[in-house]
């Protein structure tokens, strides 16, 4: 190797054969070769290298130690398998990228690229903004551990396979470390897309459980080759073991044998499917055979799926649907739940399976057990899921929640909206369980549609994540539509950044994210989005059908913001950076969509519900006609489903 070649080449050397480390080397070479000037390149190191070659080593801290790489003390982690830390020492293209585990090495590779000025504004190649650099200028010094252990995205909404593969690819680029596929096959989420529910302009495509399983195989491969923590299932353990597939929330009419019916929860004197939905049907948990059947099903699943890192064991979805039979009614569901958790731990230990189990604090299970206690906390992770909470306030106001819980009244429960009330339930559970835990929350499931500028929801999400440590939680799994980048990805980037560094400055983060998305004219985009967010705070009551002419002034401000955005949008649609141009194109679509929604709200403000309904029909048609352009960043099914409920309208369903 000549001196000239050495100066023009980075030899990227992965240490070990872990798939995530190999991928880290491949990704660094791929991106660097698009960033370096002509005559310079990055190659995978092979064979012996000269002592003076520019070598960039990638490996775990342990592998770097074994290779004799000189280094400062590695950032500490509590659990090498679960916790992420990165250490980067690169100068002039030579040095190392280290991580606490193979996944962290991949995170470190992307972090090195971000330190050079690269950004992944949105999932997919069209969302990339790459910086130019020469080998002599390639460098970074980083030594950090993530603030939180759990930093994952959960599938929701309506998705194609490519949508899911894209968000999995994007997640580690911004520091996320896990992915959750709900239910055994995630069938319902793919079926919604293939059936084109909520869009009659598209013909339904055939879809099957077998095809969903093929998708799942591909998704698991994408997750595991990145070393991401893999979470599956959740709901379904109360129906799948009985031969009723937990595919989604659609009502069914299966013929049940008397034997099967006898295992279901008795509610209002009747045993049967809860509103016809197997996934929402609880069981008669006082029956030892029921508990054993559920536990055996999970043990067999894990024996067949060694790739699972955290298996979610939840009871049925829905609420106020617990068994009222004489044997069940005097014991809280949480007590029976803990009985099954302990039995599951014993059964897994007997099989030599060390997979961690996630249990759910949610609706009826917000009330903790009265008598039972988890025997082996190291096996389990508490998942706090405050689905009924408001996203107007944050956990920052609830860190000292100490209010008493309302009494547990079987199947007559109401659930809190105030974050501090929700945290009071968490505190009660924490008195019985001191192990690992995280927040499973829904900011980007439907809540972000109530803030079309995304500035309020990004702030609430950022403040919530910053406060998780104060309420005793070690991370966040986002139950969300997979395409939440319309009009911008600010909430997604806020989530990722604050999960890595809980003290990241929200104002600086907003400015950075918007600059990457919109370029030099980002302040004009932010001004538009801020005006939209502020106007919608006052307009949201109109979604419920309240006729109030006092809403006309904020409607006028919204209309002015829509008109004011026209000039900067037109100026940037042909931006030399295609990623920036695409951001402004999405903003133009956003402006048009909000204009259609403003017509609905203005009619309601004037008390003309017929005109409002006509305007909404036009808005739906606009959204449906533009789905192909919007679908990489916007879940049309999720938006229409949410807005119809809020507006009180029905729409086409398949």
Cβ burial 412-427 (10 Å sphere, 16+ → b, else e): ebebbebbbbbbbbbb
Q: Mean pLDDT score of the chain, rounded to an integer?
A: 94
pLDDT band at 3 (very low <50, low <70, confident <90, very high): very low
- Which pLDDT tens digit goes with each residue over 130-145? 999 999 999 999 999 9
What is the average per-residue pLDDT within 505-520?
Answer: 98
- Which pLDDT tens digit goes with each residue over 383-396? 999 999 999 989 98
- Which pLDDT tens digit goes with each residue over 439-455? 999 999 999 999 999 99
- 477 versus 245: the higher-pLDDT residue is 477
pLDDT band at 654 (very low <50, low <70, confident <90, very high): very low
Share of the chain above pLDDT 90, in %: 88
Q: How far apart are CA 99 and CA 84, in angstroms?
A: 7
pLDDT band at 163 (very low <50, low <70, confident <90, very high): very high
Half-sphere exposure of 553 (CA within 13 A, CB side): 3
pLDDT band at 233 (very low <50, low <70, confident <90, very high): very high
Q: Which pLDDT score, from 0 to 100, does residue 414 have? A: 95
- Which pLDDT tens digit goes with each residue over 246-304? 888 988 777 899 999 999 999 999 999 999 999 999 999 999 999 999 999 999 999 99
Torsion angles phi and psi, residue 610, rounded to 5: -65, -45
Which residue do the tokens 């057990």 mark? 369
Residue of 25, 211, 44, 196 whose CA lies nearest to 105 = 25
In 352-441, which ranges are continuous DSSP H helix? 419-430
Q: Which pLDDT score, from 0 to 100, does residue 412 have? A: 97
Q: Tell me whether strands 140-145 and 119-120 are parallel, antiparallel or unpaired.
A: unpaired
Q: How far apart are CA 446 and CA 320, in angstroms?
A: 22
Q: What's the token pair of residue 294?
A: 């559920």
Are the C-beta atoms of residues 453 and 532 closer than 8 Å to each other? Answer: yes
Task: Give the DSSP H or E segment for 534.
Answer: helix 522-539
Q: Which pLDDT score, from 0 to 100, does residue 125 have? A: 96
- Which pLDDT tens digit goes with each residue over 311-358? 999 999 999 999 999 999 999 999 999 999 999 999 999 999 999 999
Q: Structure pTM?
A: 0.95
Other beta carbons less than 10 A from residue 387's beta carbon: 16
Q: How far apart are CA 290 and CA 274, in angstroms?
A: 17
Residues 6+ apart with CB under 8 A from 47: none
Task: Give the DSSP H or E segment for 513.
Answer: helix 506-518
Q: How far apart are CA 382 and CA 435, in angstroms?
A: 7
DSSP β-bridge partners for residue 119:
129
- pLDDT at position 528 over 80: yes
Q: How far apart are CA 240 and CA 254, in angstroms?
A: 13
Q: Which pLDDT score, from 0 to 100, does residue 251 have? A: 80
DSSP β-bridge partners for residue 311:
357
Q: Which pLDDT score, from 0 to 100, does residue 7 have? A: 58
């Amino acid at each position: 190797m000549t001196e000239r070649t050495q100066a023009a080449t980075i030899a990227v050397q992965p240490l070990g054969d872990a798939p995530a480390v190999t991928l880290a080397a491949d990704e660094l070479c791929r991106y660097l070769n698009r960033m370096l000037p002509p005559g310079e390149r990055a190659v995978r190191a092979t064979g012996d290298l000269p002592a003076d070659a520019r070598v960039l080593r990638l490996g775990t801290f342990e592998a770097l130690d074994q290779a004799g790489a000189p280094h400062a003390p590695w950032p500490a982690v509590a659990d090498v398998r679960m916790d992420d830390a990165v250490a980067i020492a690169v100068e002039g293209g030579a040095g190392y990228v280290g991580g606490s585990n193979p996944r962290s090495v991949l995170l470190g590779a992307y972090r090195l690229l971000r330190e050079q000025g690269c950004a992944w504004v949105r999932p997919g190649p069209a969302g990339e903004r790459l910086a130019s650099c020469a080998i002599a200028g390639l460098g970074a010094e980083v030594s950090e551990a993530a603030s939180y252990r759990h930093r994952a995205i959960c599938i929701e909404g309506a998705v194609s396979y490519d949508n899911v593969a894209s968000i999995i690819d994007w997640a580690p680029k911004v520091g996320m470390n896990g992915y959750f596929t709900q239910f055994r096959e995630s069938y319902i989420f793919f079926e919604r897309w293939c059936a084109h529910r909520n869009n009659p302009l598209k013909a339904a495509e055939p879809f099957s459980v077998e095809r969903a399983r093929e998708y799942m195989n591909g998704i698991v491969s994408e997750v595991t080759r990145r070393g991401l923590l893999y979470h599956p299932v959740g709901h379904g353990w109360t129906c799948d073991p009985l031969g009723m597939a937990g595919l989604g929330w659609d009502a069914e009419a299966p013929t049940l044998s008397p034997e099967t019916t006898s295992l279901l929860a008795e509610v209002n004197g009747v045993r049967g499917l809860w509103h016809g939905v197997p996934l929402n049907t609880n069981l008669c948990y006082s029956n030892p055979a029921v508990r054993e059947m559920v536990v055996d099903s999970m043990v067999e699943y894990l024996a067949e799926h060694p790739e699972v890192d955290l298996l979610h064991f939840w009871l049925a979805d829905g609420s106020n649907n617990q068994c009222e039979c004489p044997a069940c009614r005097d014991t809280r569901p949480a007590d029976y739940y803990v009985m099954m958790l302990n039995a599951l731990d014993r059964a897994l230990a007997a099989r030599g399976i060390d997979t961690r189990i996630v249990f759910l604090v949610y609706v009826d299970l917000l009330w903790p057990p009265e008598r039972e206690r988890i025997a082996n906390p190291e096996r389990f992770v508490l998942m706090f899921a405050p689905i009924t909470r408001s996203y107007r306030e944050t956990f920052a106001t609830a860190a000292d929640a100490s209010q008493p819980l309302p009494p547990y009244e079987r199947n007559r429960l109401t659930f809190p909206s105030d974050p501090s009330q929700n945290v009071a339930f968490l505190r009660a559970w924490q008195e019985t369980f001191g192990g690992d835990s995280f927040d499973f929350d829904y900011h980007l499931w439907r809540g972000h549609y109530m803030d079309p500028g995304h500035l309020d929801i990004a702030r609430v999400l950022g403040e919530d994540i910053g406060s998780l440590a104060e309420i005793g939680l070690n991370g966040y799994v986002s139950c969300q539509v997979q395409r939440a980048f319309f009009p911008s990805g600010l909430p997604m980037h806020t989530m990722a950044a604050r999960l890595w560094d809980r003290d990241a400055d929200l104002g600086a983060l907003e400015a950075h994210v918007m600059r990457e998305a919109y370029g030099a004219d980002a302040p004009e985009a932010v001004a538009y989005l801020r005006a939209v967010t502020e106007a919608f705070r006052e307009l949201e009551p109109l979604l419920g059908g309240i006729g109030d002419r006092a809403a006309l002034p904020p409607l006028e401000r919204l209309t002015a913001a829509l008109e004011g955005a026209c000039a900067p949008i037109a100026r940037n649609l042909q931006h030399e950076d295609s990623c920036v141009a695409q951001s402004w194109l999405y903003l133009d679509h956003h402006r048009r969509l909000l204009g259609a929604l403003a017509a609905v709200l203005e009619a309601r403000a004037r008390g003309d519900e017929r005109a409002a309904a006509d305007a909404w029909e036009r808005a739906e048609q606009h959204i449906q006609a533009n789905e192909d352009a919007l679908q990489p960043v916007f879940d049309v099914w999720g938006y229409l489903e949410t807005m119809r409920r809020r507006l009180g309208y029905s729409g086409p369903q398949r």
